[in-house]
Structure 1
Amino acid sequence: MSHNIANTSTSTSTLTASLPTVEQMKTWSQDNVKTFLQENRIRLDLEDKDINKIYTQRIKGSTFLDFTAMDFERWGVPSNSAKEIEKLINEIKREQPVTGLAILKNLDDKIDLIRSELENIYELSARSEIAKINGSYYSSNHADKISNYIYNKKMKMKLKESILYIRSLPQNKNFIKSLNILANRAEKALNDWEAHETKSTSSENHLYLANTKFLGIMLITSYIMDPKIAIENNHAPFDEVLELDICERPTSYFDMKNISIEIEKIKLMTKNLLHDYRQLLIRLAVLGFAIEALNSEGDKIADYRCNLVGILYVPKVSSIINIPNEWENGIKFSKGSNHAIKIVAIGDKP
Structure 2
Amino acid sequence: MSVRTYRQIQRRQSRLIHVGAVPVGGDAPISVQTMTNTLTSDVAATVAQIKRAEAAGVDIVRVSCPDEDSTRALKDIVAQVSVPVVADIHFHYRRAIEAAEAGAACLRINPGNIGSSDRVREVVKAAKDHGCSMRIGVNAGSLEKHLLEKYGEPCPEAMVESALEHAKILEDNDFREFKISVKASDVFLAVAAYHGLAEACDYPLHLGITEAGGLIGGTVKSAIGMGNLLWGGIGDTIRVSLSAPPEEEVKVGFEILKSLGLRTRGVNIVSCPSCARQGFNVVDTVALLEKRLAHVTAPVTLSIIGCVVNGPGEARETMIGLTGGGGDNHMVYVAGTPDHKIDGDAMVEHIVQLVEQKAAEIEAAKAKE
**TM-score relative to the length of structure 2:** 0.25
Q: Judging by fraction of residues, say which structure has more helix.
A: 1
Larger Rg: 2
**TM-score relative to the length of structure 1:** 0.26
Q: Judging by fraction of residues, say which structure has more strand.
A: 2
